[in-house]
Amino acid sequence: MIRTFSESEFLFIVSSARWTLLLTLLSLLLGGLLGFIVALARTSQLAPLRMLAAGWIGMIQGIPVLMLLFLSYYGLSMGGVDMPPIVAASVSMAIYASAYLGEIWRGSIQSVAWQQWEASAALAMSRAQQYRYVILPQAVRIAVAPTVGFIVQLVKNTSIVSIIGVVELARAGNLVNNATFAPFKVFGTVAAVYFIICWPISLLARRLEGKLNARRSG
Amino acid sequence: MPVVQVEGVRKSFGAVEVLKGIDLTVERGEVIAIIGRSGSGKSTLLRCINGLEGIQAGRIEVSGHKLDASGRGLRDLRKDVGIVFQSYNLFPHLRVGENIMLAPRVVLGVGKAEARQRAEEALAEVGLAERFEAWPDNLSGGQQQRVAIARSLAMKPKVMLFDEVTSALDPELTGEVLQTMERLAQHGMTMLLVTHEMAFARRVATQTIFMHQGKVWEVGPSERIFGAPQTPELRQFLGTGLK
């Protein structure tokens, strides 16, 4: 029986966006935390830490997200750890995000002029104080644009978790389309919801960037 | 007791030895100028004194803090040694006043009110009291350099190091920075400066050191170094460097 694309189908798609949002938020929080540690390790003075972080970034960036997803969902359940799909999805997206955010933030930290390290060291600051008061505040400005770019990617890439049965935005669209055969309406709606999520993020970033730059020579 | 004591310091970059056994003593209130060709090791020597460059051999002691090849005690030493660089290196994300208050607050643990007072005093000393709220990017090079001097002064150092601080400035701005330094010297600050400003060194420095090929080649009262150079190398350097 073919259903028509009516209000209830529309609401189903829109409400499933909450899983897309939740997944983005969780992977961003977890991946951001891990990514920050990766960035610090990557710019550490200790060679083993740097190598470890570089290895992590290289490995994760070299593996498709899909494989991370399969590994954490099927792989771990084979090993006896039974993970609900949404948890497996969040964990694998967080791991994926940690490598990319770690690399973006490493670049931002290293973009701060080396003389800033020297000047703060000469004022007897510890390494932690140099990061906290001199390097990171400047690195943040540099990091805003590429970080937001990545977050927008992340929102869209969450669609991949539909494969292990999480009914987020893309999966909801697929389900509705199978029942209604109204692909233009269905996927038009899905695309519009993705856009409504991503557009404000880009806007916010532009405002934030403008504000940070204005502060510097205001 | 001398403020700075340098004994037998050797420093190499890879296979190139840039400091070949340096001895140097700076007494309280002395102003010592270090002159010499590019590559003679004068900037490196200055950077070794506050541990920005490590040393391979020898001993550096600044107001009781010892610095050896191990690099221990570095932060305590740096609290007593101010350094000003050729490229100012102000913190661009902080206003002038915040630039100066930062290190006293986080490194010395000074309270906000006292840090502010220190910053205002230091800014007044360099003649920029009214620029407390300015952003570094909105200042001229000479003003930025004077803020950098104030930033070091606010730590109340025992000795100030100046590493070619006017080399990036045009003559007019050079003048205002040199005046600031001269005033510091008159106020009794112990200073060690690497410079190409020969007239300034001759007038302000109590002693001048001529470095050549990684060694202290000639040292003495500035008047004698510039007025009656003993070695042919110094004579040649001054002949081409002082017109």
- Domain membership flag for residue B54: yes
Give the integer Cα–Cα distance in Å for A156 and B4. Answer: 62
Q: Same structural domain for residues B140 and B228?
A: no
Residue-level pLDDT at A95: 96
- Look at residue B70 and tell me whether its pLDDT is greater than 70: no
DSSP secondary structure, B54-74, as one string: --SEEEEEETTEEE-TT-TTH
Confidence at A47, pLDDT banded by 50, 70, 90:
very high
Residues B181 and B212 in one domain: yes
Domains and CATH numbers, chain A: 7-216 (1.10.3720.10)
Looking at the fold, whether B123 and B167 belong to one and the same domain comes out as no
pLDDT at A81 (0 to 100): 81
- Domain presence at residue B243: yes
pLDDT at A207: 86
Mutate to test the interface with B, among A115, A116, A118, A123 (most CBs of B within 10 A): A123
A51-57 contacts, C-beta under 8 A, 24 or more apart: A53/A102, A53/A106, A56/A98, A56/A99, A56/A102, A57/A99, A57/A102, A57/A103
B162 shares a domain with B238? yes
Q: Percentage of chain B surpassing pLDDT 90?
A: 81
The verdict on B16 and B65 lying in the same domain is yes
Q: Does residue B196 share a domain with residue B147?
A: no
Domain assignment present for residue B85? The answer is no
Looking only at the bridges linking them, the beta strands covering B16-26 and B4-13 are antiparallel
C-alpha distances out from residue B17 to A41, A105, B12, B71, B164, Å = 33, 37, 4, 19, 22
Is residue A163 exposed (0-12), middle (13-18) or buried (19+ Cβ within 10 Å)? middle
| DSSP per position, B148-205 | HHHHHHTT--SEEEEESTTTTS-HHHHHHHHHHHHHHHHTT--EEEE-S-HHHHHHH-
The CA angle A114-B122-B108, to the nearest 5 degrees, is 65
Q: Is residue B167 part of a domain?
A: yes
Tell me what pLDDT residue A131 has: 97
Cβ proximity of B209 and B234 under 8 Å: no
Is B135 in the same domain as B172? Answer: no
Write down the pLDDT at residue B1.
81
* Contact predicate A168/A20, CB 8 Å: yes
- Whether pLDDT at A214 is above 90: no
The stretch A23-38 carries a mean pLDDT of 96
Q: Residue range A171-175: average pLDDT?
A: 92
pLDDT exceeds cutoff 50 at A210: yes
A123 to B107: CB separation less than 8 angstroms, yes or no: yes
When pLDDT is cut at 50, 70 and 90, the band that residue B74 belongs to is confident
pLDDT computed for residue A211 by the predictor: 78
- Pair B65, B5 in one domain: yes
Contacts of B138 in chain A (CB under 8 A): 217
A interface test, pick of B49, B89, B98, B110 with most A CB neighbours within 10 Å: B89
CATH number at residue B48: 3.40.50.300
Write the pLDDT tens digit of every residue in B182-222. Answer: 999 999 999 999 999 999 999 999 999 999 999 999 999 99
B141: in domain: yes
Q: How many beta carbons lie within 10 A of that of residue B104, not counting itself?
A: 24
Instruction: State the average pLDDT over residues B84-111.
Output: 96
Q: What is the ipTM of this complex?
A: 0.91
Interface of A with B in 36-95 (CB under 8 A): none
Look at residue B225 and tell me if it is in a domain.
yes
Q: Let me know whether B59 and B179 are in one domain.
A: yes
B26-69 pLDDT tens trace? 999 999 999 999 888 999 999 999 989 988 889 899 988 887 66
Interface contact B135-A123, CB threshold 8 A: no
Of B99, B128, B156, which residue constitutes the final position of a domain? B156
Answer with the one of B132, B156, B180 that is the final residue of a domain: B156
β-sheet bridge partners, residue B11: B19
Where is the domain boundary, B104, B134, B156? B156
pLDDT above 60 (res A218): no
The three-state secondary structure class of B129 is helix
Q: What does the H/E/C string look like for chain A? A: CCCCCCHHHHHHHHHHHHHHHHHHHHHHHHHHHHHHHHHHHHCCCCHHHHHHHHHHHHHHHCCCHHHHHHHHHHHHHHCCCCCCHHHHHHHHHHHHHHHHHHHHHHHHHHHCCHHHHHHHHHCCCCHHHHHHHHHHHHHHHHHHHHHHHHHHHHHHHHHHHHHHCCCCHHHHHHHHHHHHCCHHHHHHHHHHHHHHHHHHHHHHHHHHHHHHHHHHCC
Element (H, E) at B221: strand B215-221
Task: For residue B178, tell me if it sits in a domain.
Answer: yes
- What value does the mean pLDDT take over residues A199-214? 83
Of B78, B89, B135, the CB nearest to A115: B89
When CB atoms are compared, the residue of B76, B89, B137 closest to A116 is: B89
* Percent of chain A residues topping a pLDDT of 90: 75
From chain B, the residues in CB contact with A124 under 8 A are 75-76, 78-79, 103, 107, 155
- Convert B145-176 to b/e letters by CB count within 10 Å (16 or more is b): bbbbbbbbbbbebbbbbbbbbbebbeeebbeb
Which of B75, B92, B103 has its CB closest to that of A216? B92
The stretch B166-178 carries a mean pLDDT of 91
Between the two ends of chain A, the Cα-to-Cα distance in Å is: 64
Q: How far apart are CA B75 and CA B51, in angstroms?
A: 9
If phi > 0 it is left, if psi is from -120 to 50 it is alpha, else beta; for residue A130 that is alpha
Tell me, yes or no, whether B137 and B103 share the same domain.
yes
Mean pLDDT of chain B: 92
A49/A100 Cα distance (integer angstroms):
17
- One-letter amino acid at B35 equals I
User: Residue B138 pLDDT more than 60?
Assistant: yes
Would residue B116 count as lying in a domain?
Answer: yes
State the total domains in chain B. Answer: 2
pLDDT value, residue B242: 46
* Domain around B107: 90-156
CA distance A154 to A96: 9
Whether residue B167 sits in one domain with residue B69: yes
- Give the residue on B whose Cα is nearest the Cα of A125: B107
| Interface of chain B toward chain A, CB-CB under 8 angstroms | 50, 52, 75-76, 78-79, 81-83, 85, 87, 89-93, 102-103, 106-107, 135, 137-138, 151-152, 155
| Whether B75 and B47 share a structural domain | yes
- Position A77 scores a pLDDT of 80
